Amino acid sequence: MQTQNQANSHSALANYRFQLLKLMQKCGPIEKFDMLFHKGGPMVGQSRGYAFVTFAQNEGATNALLRLDGTSVGSRSIAVRLAKNIKYDDLQKPKPRIEIPALGTGKREEKISKSEAIRAIEAKLKHLERQTDDNLELNPRDGINANVPFIQRYQFNKDRDNTQRYGKSSAPYHRQQRPKRR
């Protein structure tokens, strides 16, 4: 059974739907009219606030767009828009491949053989070995002995006494140290 309030809202919704349908019919013959409603949740049965209208001819849609956009139906102002038509054939077309060149790569007209690639890599390695990198210093720091290996210069807390942390934990207490419950 419906309560009086539910019956009133249902009749108001039916009246709104009827007014909207009559307004749309003035623009041209209608092929299909779909008003969407909530199917679940606390607002079940109430209008979602929009409808889809399919006109028999294109002129009906353009008339509705020009004449009805912004008009009032009941206490509401309506907005008329054309629905976006998705062409599903376009979705299945192969998309063009976008290539973003990475640093240091270039397009070659012809592929090189594996042996040529190996020779080129070996030549590059020999060239790098011959280069002297005595003048290369990353983040030079004053007061640091140059004889100390590079990695050890930037390692901190490595020579700390490990016995200092024995028995200490980041937890507030161990199970054995926990106060006894009474």
CATH code of the domain in which 66 resides: 3.30.70.330
The answer on pLDDT for 27 being more than 80 is yes
Q: Is residue 29 part of a domain?
A: yes
Q: Is residue 56 part of a domain?
A: yes
The answer on pLDDT for 63 being more than 70 is yes
Per residue in 39-61, pLDDT (tens digit) is 888 988 888 888 889 999 989 98
Q: Is residue 19 part of a domain?
A: yes
Q: Is residue 42 part of a domain?
A: yes
pLDDT given for residue 38 in this prediction:
86
Residue-range definition of the domain harbouring residue 33: 4-84
pTM of the model: 0.41
Mean pLDDT of 97-118: 68
Q: Is residue 24 part of a domain?
A: yes
Q: Is residue 45 part of a domain?
A: yes
The answer on pLDDT for 29 being more than 90 is yes
- Token pair for residue 118? 């190996």
Count of domains observed in the chain: 1
Q: Is residue 121 part of a domain?
A: no
pLDDT given for residue 82 in this prediction:
85
| Percent of the chain's residues with pLDDT above 70 | 55
What SS3 string covers the chain? CCCHHHHHHHHHHHHHHHHHHHHHHCCCCEEEEEEEECCCCCCCCCEEEEEEEEECCHHHHHHHHHHHCCCEECCEECCCCCCCCCCHHHHCCCCCCCCCCCCCCCCCCCCCCHHHHHHHHHHHHHHHHHCCCCCCCCCCCCCCCCCCCHHHHCCCCCCCCHHHHCCCCCCCCCCCCCCCCC
The answer on pLDDT for 108 being more than 50 is yes
Q: Is residue 38 part of a domain?
A: yes
